[in-house]
Chain A
């Protein structure tokens, strides 16, 4: 107890990450239910790989990021973003790439890109270049559409409700995301807007990928714009057959654009304020 305030609300980064992981549990349980032990093995391998990677990086860099439990969320998401019929090694490889890139781009707080989305995107070229529809069944990734996590919208919504209950659901992103998805789908030919909004991938992108505080913008305006951008782009990409890959690519593009915009805005504001003083 060195500085005021001497009381604290009790929230910590680890608790927040634990909550995010709990919110993913219904979807994870659903994956095991639908896809069997293979899904369970993928989940376990991904989480174990995420923990191991972070542990080794912590040893190497001297930082202590393991205890923030971010890797728990990264690991779970890395598996859930993959199709159940992906090769068994894809899940731990995705988790390894996710955590490693996060560490190499500055570690928790500094990383620009959502780790799980990044890990999944890094697997895209391995699994299916350009992921066109006709590649189904021909590449390693036999079942292109249909990540394990998107199997049940209902279970995802249960998790999202939990996030909302814990005040961790970023409404300012999720609502614009869903609206943008709906409107984009309405504009696209032969596309059922309702089906798009009810698709698990949309819910995953709107409520779970955007719930990562580090890579989602902080201000309200940026959050709304981020939601609109990601929702629209993800819908277009998934419509053209990228499935979950479309969502992660849209998320990464938005991560990049908005983090850059935020940094520039903060610099400008800082200079303006300094000039005033």
Chain B
């Protein structure tokens, strides 16, 4: 058994070569935030063409493939509700549009259409922190165990990260620019060496890659203060890489998705709008309950019929769980020992990151995992 007081082991943050998803016939681009479509049904589109526009949070959307607009229809969202969606019929020719040209100011962030993992626009995070930024931290550490999208972004797209970083440095003038890598991410640390930033090594344990904890440990943020509102900005390298690629002419039309299950993981390079089921198939993932995000804080996904949208960088397939009721708290204190916020979870006071580390180690938890399910 693993020493419980070491937090949750990160385990697999090692990049495997990504697999490209085979060409998809139909590409679905949802417009959930009220983006304005710029094309009509029947119009031809080329890869990289701007097909929907937005102002503020609805960000522009670019066509991931070339073909024609087959329909502009309402679709059900996996989270409930429905929205308009552009449906593209892929012609398989992969005709490229002119490279993207972005202005050399803050608008570039909005125009690029880049979203952080989770779906928040990159531009929003940056503009909120813009005045008087002290420390810019790029994190090449994955937020959750099992996944490796951040590691992959740095290992495979180091020059795009460099381009994005140069732009951000120009825009924000931070006093310090740091790059956080996990202690085990040797390849990423190597790839980061030429970048214009200081590489900081952080122990590779689960909640430590949380932006707030990185900001506290590297940015010397006073504890308990949310990072984005202070003078520390923590950005995942995958978003900076996507933005750097947009500056170099390629809008965010493809995304690497880490698919992980108990005994394996795969990195799939997929166009936006491809069905998640195709991504799971390409990853050769086993059947099982699906999670959006990582195993610690992910949210259940009822089905994989929906398309890949910006913000989805990781999927989990869980083993079937054996249910069992927990026991009363036996006051072992393990929860408090692993809590990164020095919280006493049984008192329920203090600031909580909702990282789940306390429940991960709790022997009285509401279930006993089957033996096969015990991590790694």
Contacts and interface: CB of A to CB of B under 8 A. Distances in A.
Interface of A: 1, 4-16, 64-65, 67-68, 107-110, 166-167, 213-214, 216, 218-219, 266, 269-270, 273-274
Interface stretch (B1-9, B50-58, B180-188): B1-9
Contacts of A4: 296-299, 354, 356, 359
A28 B14 CA distance: 47
Which of A9, A13, A16, A269 has the largest number of chain B CB atoms within 10 A?
A9
Nearest to B318: A6
B298 A213 contact: no
Given A6-B291, A7-B295, A13-B364, A213 B331 contact: yes
Interface in B318-376: 318, 321, 325, 327-334, 336, 344, 347, 349-350, 354, 356, 359-361, 363-365, 367-369, 371, 373-375
A110 B328 contact: yes
A214 B349 contact: no
Contact of A109 (B297, B325, B331, B375): B331
Nearest to A165: B1
Given A219-B333, A266-B347, A9 B4 contact: yes
A10 B374 CA distance: 5
Contacts of A219: 333, 336
B311 interface: no
Contact of A8 (B291, B327, B367): B367
B300 interface: yes
B368 A5 contact: no
B203 interface: no
Nearest to A274: B349
A218 B349 contact: no
Q: Is the interface of B mostly helix, strand, loop or mixed?
A: loop
A270 B295 contact: no
Contacts of A107: 328
Contacts of B331: 109, 213-214, 216, 218
A269 B316 contact: no
A191 to B, nearest CB: 34
A6 B356 CA distance: 9
Contact of B360 (A9, A14, A65, A214): A9
Interface string B114-145: 00000000000000000000000000000001
B330 A214 contact: yes
B42 interface: no
Given A108-B327, A167-B5, A269-B347, A8 B332 contact: no
A12 B296 contact: no
B316 to A, nearest CB: 7
A7 B4 contact: no
A219 B334 CA distance: 10
21 contacts: A1-B318, A4-B298, A4-B359, A5-B295, A5-B296, A6-B318, A7-B296, A8-B368, A9-B360, A9-B375, A11-B334, A11-B361, A12-B364, A13-B330, A68-B327, A107-B328, A108-B328, A109-B331, A167-B4, A218-B332, A218-B333
A269 B349 contact: yes
Contacts of A7: 8, 145, 295-296, 360, 369, 373, 375
Nearest to B370: A10
3 smallest CB-CB distances across A and B, nearest first, come from A10-B374, A109-B328, A5-B356
A8 B373 contact: yes
* B-side interface size class: 35 or more
Given A16-B332, A213-B330, A266-B347, A8 B374 contact: yes
B92 interface: no
A6 B296 contact: yes
Which of B2, B3, B4, B327 has the largest number of chain A CB atoms within 10 A?
B327
B17 interface: no
A218 B336 CA distance: 9
Contacts of B365: 8, 12
A5 B364 CA distance: 14
B44 interface: no
A9 B296 contact: no
A63 to B, nearest CB: 9
Contact of B316 (A6, A109, A274): A6
A7 B367 CA distance: 10
Contacts of B371: 10
B289 interface: yes
Nearest to B355: A5
Contacts of A5: 8, 295-297, 356, 359-360
Contacts of B349: 269-270, 273-274
A268 to B, nearest CB: 11
B367 to A, nearest CB: 7
Contacts of A274: 349
Nearest to A106: B328
